[in-house]
Structure 1
Amino acid sequence: MASALTDKLSRLVKDLRGQGRITESNVTDMLREVRMALLEADVALPVVRDFIARVKEKALGQEVLGSLQPGQVLVSIVNRELAATMGEGVSDINLAAQPPAVILMAGLQGAGKTTTTAKLAKHLIEKRKKKVLTVSGDVYRPAAIEQLKTVTAQAGAEWFPSTPDQNPVDIGRAALDYAKKHFFDVLLVDTAGRLAIDEALMLEIKNLHAALNPVETLFVVDAMQGQDAVNTAKAFKEALPLTGIILTKTDGDSRGGAALSVRQITGAPIKFAGTSEKLDGLEVFDAERHAGRILGMGDIVALVEQVTAGVDIEAAKKLAEKVKSGGGFDLNDFLAQIQQMKQMGGLSSLMDKLPAAMAAKAGQVDMDKAEKDIKRKEGIIHSMTPLERRKPELIKATRKRRIAAGAGVHVQEVNRMLKEFEQMQEMMKRMKGGGMMKMMKRLGGMKGMPKMPF
């Protein structure tokens, strides 16, 4: 995310931290570099001017000049002002309304609105424990109605049927009536993708808004559009009382300009960011943490949250008990550990949250290659019989050839995987005397990690 901007700003941060003395001259030089980096990242010019003016005013104040570590203080000012540009802290979704709380999803065609509707449904079900109903008012694309039906089922929400021959306002009213009668907490209304210049469609969404009186009107915008994203968000803000913005495709946005511009230009807070194509790839937007990522400081809190969400605590406890009681560590357990890594969102997703220096070191390893290697190991184990997984010592030459053929790999790769398994098995044996329990309890004490139930 915002890799080009992050590279430039993290280099500046490194240089600044080493500054023992801050003068007006080196502040001006630093701000020139920041200005160029922001403009190249497609940040709107008024936003750049305002940001530079605020940083300069504070950088030449007593807080920096009177500090024993002026470089460090200057970095914290840049970080603070970046966060302020994107909005203060977290602006979560507002559900303070008589149920069902209606959320209207607006946006351009191709912004990822329908998928984002399902992602938001999943977030509200899992994080806010809400009963969610979705409905599509996109009568111009029958495929959009079917797509919402499919992704809603995957998200674990309920879908209200609609057809292309219906009027969007009638669809919305019928869905709201159904949601009230069946005690839903939230109704998510997906609308047709429209161009800001399309007056007929803009009038339609205004009528839909008037009929449903939503508690939230969220503008879904593609972060990769950069300056265009800001302009369209501004046009929608003039037509609708937007209460928030969801930035999609931030994982593919190498510039980062939209995230920095959209809040200040529209006045509407960024509430969520889409971080991957998966249905769980939606994060509550935290301006301070996002600023840290852009400055190359990483987002360790998000990293811990992602790892925690992917760890099956009960499975980890059972494995610890099994190893402690002398049950051994077999290939089924090894497979479970591999699958836990996949549940955490993959290596590249974890890398995005590391500080720049650590990510640069980790980046020397080919992440795509590493993820393919994980899938290959999975395939090899799936080619084994249940007995072979329980008793790996049975796997000799003939069995290895059969397993390799079944997985579509060379025998050497089966040998390599078994060698890695043996190394992990040896490590587990050393933890047999309660060492694993102690390690897990230490994990439980980490910030953001749940306490272990033992």
Structure 2
Amino acid sequence: MFQNLSDRLTSTLRNVTGKSRMTDENIQDTLREVRMALLEADVALPVVKQFVDAVRQRALGQEVSSSLSPGQAFLKIVQAELESVMGGANEGLNLATQPPAVVLMAGLQGAGKTTSVAKLARLLKERDGKSVTVVSADVYRPAAIRQLETLAAEVGVDFFPSDAGQKPVDIARAALEHAKIRFSDVLIVDTAGRLSVDEAMMAEIAELERVIKPIETLFVVDAMTGQDAANTARAFGEALPLTGVILTKVDADTRGGAALSVRSVTGKPIKFLGVGEKTAALDPFHPDRLASRILGMGDMMSLIEEAEQKVDKQKAERLARKVKKGKKFDLEDFRDQLQQMNNMGGMASMLEKMPGMGNMAQAAQQGMDNRMFARMEAMINSMTPKERRNPDLIQGGRKRRITRGSGTQVQDLNRLLKQHKQMQKMMKKMKGGGMEKMMRGLGGMMPPGGPGGGMPFR
């Protein structure tokens, strides 16, 4: 995420953080580099100018010159201004109204609106305990209606059917009545997108907004379009009373221009980030955490929150007790760890949130086969319970049977068994109570072989 911007900024700021004295000259040189990094990241020019001016003003003042470590003080200023540009603090949804609270989703075609509807519905259901109804008012793409129906079933929320022969306003009215009868807490309305901003589209969605009176009108935009995302958001903001933005495809965006521009250009807060294709891949937006990640300082708070939400605590505690008593770490335990890590978005996603691990995360992402977890799990599932409990039994014919059953090669199985041995040795060293708290807090998740170590690469 935002790897190019992160690399440029961390490299530039590394040159000043160790300085015992900051002068006008080295501040100006650093700010020139920061300015270039932001422009290359496709941040809107007015935002770059405002950001650099704010940092310069603070850096040349008493704040840095009186500090015991001026270089570190300068880094803190850059971090604070990054946070300020992106909004300062997390702003969640305002659902304080008589149910159902209506959330209207707007945006261009291909931005990921329909998927974002399902992701938001899942988040509200699982995190906030809300009952949610979703409906598609996209009568121009029957496939979008079918897609939302499939996604609604996947995340376990109520779907109100519609078809291409209806008017969007009629669909929304009927869905609102249906949601009231069902006592739904929230109604999320998906709308039609276009390939570009046009008058007909704006008129249609403005009428929808007027009829259903949503408490939240969210603009869904592809982060990879850079500062164009901010400009499109501004155009929508002029036609609709937007309350916030959802940035999608953030996990694939190496630049970060949209995240740094949208708030300043539109005056509307970014409320959520789409960080993957799965329906669980929607994160509340925290400017302070993202600023920390951009500057290579990691995001441990998000990692811990993710662990609390996505990790099976019973399995984690069971493993912690097992380790404490010095019992053997078997392949059943190993499979549980793979599943836990997969739930957290894989090793690259975890490493990215750890301080100083950005480059390692990138290397893991590039070198790792994304189907690795599925293959490893398939091999363990092809074993008998006895073999999982005692991997030393797996020899000769057993290996051939397991690899045939899982569609893998013997060398894949040998690699898996070697990794299991490595992790077993590591667990032996943790015998006693020293690791119990960590296992509980982070769900016993340690990448097989340690961070970056012993994982199968292509």
What corresponds to 2:420 in structure 1?
A: 421
Cα distance in structure 1, aligned partners of 2:58 and 2:365: 41
Whichever residue aligns with residue 57 of structure 2, its letter is E
Deviations 1:183-223 (A, max 9, x none): 11000000000356421221111111011111000000100
Cα distance in structure 2, aligned partners of 1:26 and 1:338: 47
Deviations 1:155-209 (A, max 9, x none): 2211001111111111111111111111110000000003564212211111110
* Aligned positions of 1:199-218 closer than 5 A: 199-218=199-218
Deviations 1:21-76 (A, max 9, x none): 11222211111111111111111111111111111111111111121211111111
Whichever residue aligns with residue 305 of structure 1, its letter is E
Give runs of ≥4 in structure 1 deviating > 6 Å: 323-327
Cα distance in structure 2, aligned partners of 1:288 and 1:320: 32
| SS class of match (2:54) | helix
| SS class of match (1:103) | strand
* Aligned positions of 1:187-266 closer than 5 A: 187-194=187-194, 197-266=197-266
What corresponds to 1:23 in structure 2?
A: 23
* Aligned positions of 1:32-111 closer than 5 A: 32-111=32-111
User: Which 10-residue stretch deviates more, 107-116 or 398-407?
Assistant: 398-407
What corresponds to 1:439 in structure 2?
A: 435
What corresponds to 2:350 in structure 1?
A: 350
1:389 equivalent to 2:385? Answer: no
**By how many angstroms is 1:431 displaced?**
5.8
**By how many angstroms is 1:88 displaced?**
1.4
| SS class of match (1:241) | coil
| SS class of match (1:210) | helix
1:150 equivalent to 2:146? Answer: no
**By how many angstroms is 1:331 displaced?**
2.5
**By how many angstroms is 1:382 displaced?**
2.2
Deviations 1:329-361 (A, max 9, x none): 432232222222211211122233233x43324
Whether the 8 Å CA contact 2:348–2:365 is kept in 1: the answer is: no
**By how many angstroms is 1:2 displaced?**
1.3
Whichever residue aligns with residue 115 of structure 2, its letter is T
Query: Residues 138, 394 of structure 1: CA spacing in aligned structure 2 closer, same or farther, 3 A cutoff?
Result: same
Whether the 8 Å CA contact 1:135–1:162 is kept in 2: the answer is: yes
Deviations 1:273-297 (A, max 9, x none): 1111111111110111111111222
What corresponds to 1:452 in structure 2?
A: none
Cα distance in structure 1, aligned partners of 2:183 and 2:17: 56
Instruction: Give the aligned length.
Output: 444
What corresponds to 1:124 in structure 2?
A: 124
Whether the 8 Å CA contact 2:320–2:440 is kept in 1: the answer is: no
Whichever residue aligns with residue 403 of structure 1, its letter is I
Whichever residue aligns with residue 16 of structure 1, its letter is V
* Aligned positions of 1:287-302 closer than 5 A: 287-302=287-302
Cα distance in structure 1, aligned partners of 2:63 and 2:326: 60
Whichever residue aligns with residue 317 of structure 2, its letter is K
Percent identity for Structure 1 against Structure 2: 56
Whether the 8 Å CA contact 2:348–2:361 is kept in 1: the answer is: no
Whether the 8 Å CA contact 1:133–1:187 is kept in 2: the answer is: yes
| SS class of match (2:5) | helix
Cα distance in structure 2, aligned partners of 1:107 and 1:390: 52
Cα distance in structure 2, aligned partners of 1:362 and 1:191: 36
What corresponds to 2:404 in structure 1?
A: 405
* Aligned positions of 1:310-325 closer than 5 A: 310-321=310-321
Whether the 8 Å CA contact 2:135–2:189 is kept in 1: the answer is: yes
Whether the 8 Å CA contact 2:116–2:274 is kept in 1: the answer is: yes
**By how many angstroms is 1:5 displaced?**
0.9
- Which blocks of at least 5 consecutive residues in structure 2 are unaligned? 446-458
Whether the 8 Å CA contact 2:106–2:193 is kept in 1: the answer is: yes
**By how many angstroms is 1:445 displaced?**
6.5
| SS class of match (1:340) | helix
Cα distance in structure 2, aligned partners of 1:342 and 1:118: 20
Deviations 1:216-266 (A, max 9, x none): 000001000012111111100000010000000011111100111110111
**By how many angstroms is 1:428 displaced?**
4.8
**By how many angstroms is 1:372 displaced?**
4.5
Cα distance in structure 2, aligned partners of 1:287 and 1:247: 13
Q: Taking structure 2 as the reference length, what is the TM-score of the superposition? A: 0.91
User: Which 10-residue stretch deviates more, 48-57 or 419-428?
Assistant: 419-428
What corresponds to 2:448 in structure 1?
A: none
Query: Residues 45, 68 of structure 1: CA spacing in aligned structure 2 closer, same or farther, 3 A cutoff?
Result: same
What corresponds to 1:359 in structure 2?
A: 358
What is the root-mean-square deviation of aligned Cα atoms in Å? 2.3
Whichever residue aligns with residue 308 of structure 1, its letter is E
**By how many angstroms is 1:391 displaced?**
4.1
- Which blocks of at least 5 consecutive residues in structure 1 are unaligned? 450-454
| SS class of match (1:133) | strand
Cα distance in structure 2, aligned partners of 1:428 and 1:105: 48
Cα distance in structure 2, aligned partners of 1:411 and 1:196: 52
Cα distance in structure 1, aligned partners of 2:365 and 2:179: 48
Whether the 8 Å CA contact 1:196–1:235 is kept in 2: the answer is: no
**By how many angstroms is 1:369 displaced?**
2.5
Cα distance in structure 2, aligned partners of 1:368 and 1:400: 26
Whether the 8 Å CA contact 2:307–2:441 is kept in 1: the answer is: no
**By how many angstroms is 1:141 displaced?**
0.5
User: Which 10-residue stretch deviates more, 409-418 or 145-154?
Assistant: 409-418
Cα distance in structure 2, aligned partners of 1:426 and 1:260: 45
Q: Taking structure 1 as the reference length, what is the TM-score of the superposition? A: 0.91
* Aligned positions of 1:156-175 closer than 5 A: 156-175=156-175
Deviations 1:293-342 (A, max 9, x none): 11222212112222333321111233445667787543223222222221
What corresponds to 1:376 in structure 2?
A: 375
Cα distance in structure 2, aligned partners of 1:134 and 1:258: 27
User: Which 10-residue stretch deviates more, 313-322 or 330-339?
Assistant: 313-322
